[in-house]
Every structure is written in C-alpha cells, then in structure tokens.
Amino acid sequence: MMIKTYSELSRLQTFEERFDYLVLGGVVGHSTFGRDRYLNQIFYNSYDWKLARDKVIIRDNACDLGIIGRDILDRIYVHHMNPITIEDFENNYGILIDPEFLICTSFRTHQAITFGDPKHIVKLPRERRKGDTLLW
C-alpha cells in the first residue's frame, strides 16, 4: 500500500488531481474499529489531536484540500490521508498527529474521498470571460 503524504499532495496543482490522489473508494457501512471504536473517540478528544488539527488548519488556510479559493465555510474536517488502524494507536501514534499525513477537507469532500464518489464535491462556478453572454 502506498503511503500518501502532504509533501506529495502539495505538488498537485488542481483540486481534481488532489482528490484523485486521496480517494479511498471505501464501502458504506464498512467498520473501521468495530467494538474498539472507543479508541478513536478518546484520540479525537485528546490535546495532541487538537493541537495537530489546529496546525493543519493554519497550514491549509482553512481551504478544502489546501487549495486557495476553496474556503471551507462550515465545519472543517482534518482528514487522515492514510486509513488508520488499531495498530496505529498502539505502535505508530506519531503518524496519527503528524501534519505530513493530514489535510483539511469539507464534509462533502471528506465523504467523496472516503466513499470514492465525486458527486459529493462542490463544483465552482465557471470563470466568466469577456464577451461571454451565456448564463451560468
């Protein structure tokens, strides 16, 4: 499995390229932690996570996939670019809070990445040009 990184992602210029890089193609209802779900609930309420989350939001200027002009005007999701496992909590805790493996997303983009369905992505209006007489 290829480990996805912010360094690699940041070389991609467009939102679509970044989305294609991150898409997981998950299955609705697929359980990540099952009965061990309490682990990620503890984690997401930890000081370490909140500090890492704030750093990523500042780095990405609160923009969807870090693309300027795609401001997130609602709740910001900080997405783990690589699926996390129980073993990560036990053996690789640092990877869970390292900004190199995190990116800002909107709810809709997060859903599209997780389930591999680009219909959730908000399309920006087409840029207008001189002489353009068509309505949006």
pLDDT tens per residue, range 93-117: 888 999 999 999 999 999 889 887 7
Output the pLDDT for position 120: 65
> Could you give phi then psi for residue 27, rounded to 5 degrees?
-115, 130
The pLDDT tens digits for 62-86 are 999 999 999 999 999 999 999 888 8
Both ends of the chain: CA-CA distance in Å? 42
> Could you give phi then psi for residue 63, rounded to 5 degrees?
-110, 145
Question: CA–CA separation, 87 vs 77, rounded Å?
Answer: 23
pTM for the complete prediction?
A: 0.82
DSSP at 78: E
Q: Counting runs of H as helices and runs of E as strands, what totals does the chain give?
A: 7, 2
> Is residue 104 within 8 Å of residue 23, measured between CB atoms?
no
